[in-house]
Amino acid sequence: MTKPPRKRNKATSTASSDDTPPDNLTQEENPATATITVTAVEVSELTEQEISDRLHLERKVERAFFEAGKALMELRDRRLYRSTHKTFEEYCRDRFSYTYRHVNYLIAGSKIVDNIKMGTNSSQNESQDEMGTNSSQILPTSEVQVRPLAKLEPQQQPKAWQQAVEQAEGKVPSGRIVKDVVQRIIERRKVPNTYQIGEVCQIVVKDNPELRGKGGCWGIVSAVNDFSCTVKTWDGEYAVALQHLKSYNYLPAECEQMREICDRINRVYSSGLEETVKSLLQLLGKVNRPYLTELEEKLLSLLESEVKV
């Protein structure tokens, strides 16, 4: 009885007689006789419960930085760090390894997300999920995405975010897209820069982390740009956007007097004194009048004599 021909495995390719491998190569070492195994990835539909779980978990990931910012703000405002740390900055560094700037970015970012949600909810009437978020609403997933929005007024932020979402074709926009949208909005406003060199202005922070510690400081305008001014303060020069400046409207003679005081304070600061002295100089850098009192003048003169200015 003749035996049926042996079936060849389709996934195995065998060399012809002309390609017979040398005797010193085994079948495993010869690529001509290698067997290639392909594993198919099975795609299965999710159940309704799995779809619900996925959306819930995705929402948690999306809200991670938002929740962190809200929690940090409550820790700061309620001073819940006071039992172990003297300052909130030290607490964040020791507990979370966060720099103070990063903490401020997270807190400011959470406020912006609140503004976006409020602005969108006021113009839409959609059902909300258990976290108070419209199911079809695209929200930021990273603090970097909302950081450029800090340059706009709170009521402008929702519209700017929606424009960025549309530019990203309905997806979460990158920080670069948001920044471009914000820049176009600023350029359209084209508020003329009316500040003049030598003018005395107060720095207004308005939730801008980059101006941390400068709120209430006065400075002398040393350069006028399209959308900002370079301002010289008690501890150096800073580029400050127009929305973060407020003129004191001093007379020219008063501005000149404050310029001299600023130069004196800055020279003492540059000499490198103790932190307590720097704190005193900072207080002088926040006076909201065009002169120093008699006691303030004596203190500044004493410091000048100590550092031989």
Least confident of 42-46, 210-214, 260-264: 42-46
Residue 33: pLDDT band (50, 70, 90) is low
- pLDDT of res. 14: 42
**Token pair recorded at residue 218:** 């006065």
What is the distance, to the nearest Å, from the Cα of residue 168 to the centroid of all Cα atoms in its chain? Answer: 20
pLDDT tens digit sequence for 209-258: 778 888 899 999 999 987 789 999 999 999 898 889 999 999 999 999 99
**Token pair recorded at residue 242:** 């127009």
Half-sphere exposure of 121 (CA within 13 A, CB side): 14
Cα radius of gyration rounded to whole Å, the chain: 32
Sign of the CA dihedral with 73 first, then 76, 80, and 81 last: positive
pLDDT tens digit sequence for 139-164: 999 999 999 999 898 999 999 999 99
Beta bridge partners of 233: 236
- pLDDT of res. 261: 95
- Cα 122 to Cα 1, 115, 134, 158, 252: the distances in Å are 87, 11, 11, 10, 47
Residue 56: pLDDT band (50, 70, 90) is confident
**Token pair recorded at residue 264:** 């004196």
Contact 285, 234 (CB under 8 A): yes
Contact 232, 222 (CB under 8 A): yes
Rounded to whole angstroms, the Cα distance separating 271 from 269 reads 5
What global pTM score does this model have? Answer: 0.48
Rounded to whole angstroms, the Cα distance separating 165 from 168 reads 5
- pLDDT of res. 191: 64
- pLDDT of res. 200: 96
Question: Can you give the length of the chain in residues?
Answer: 309
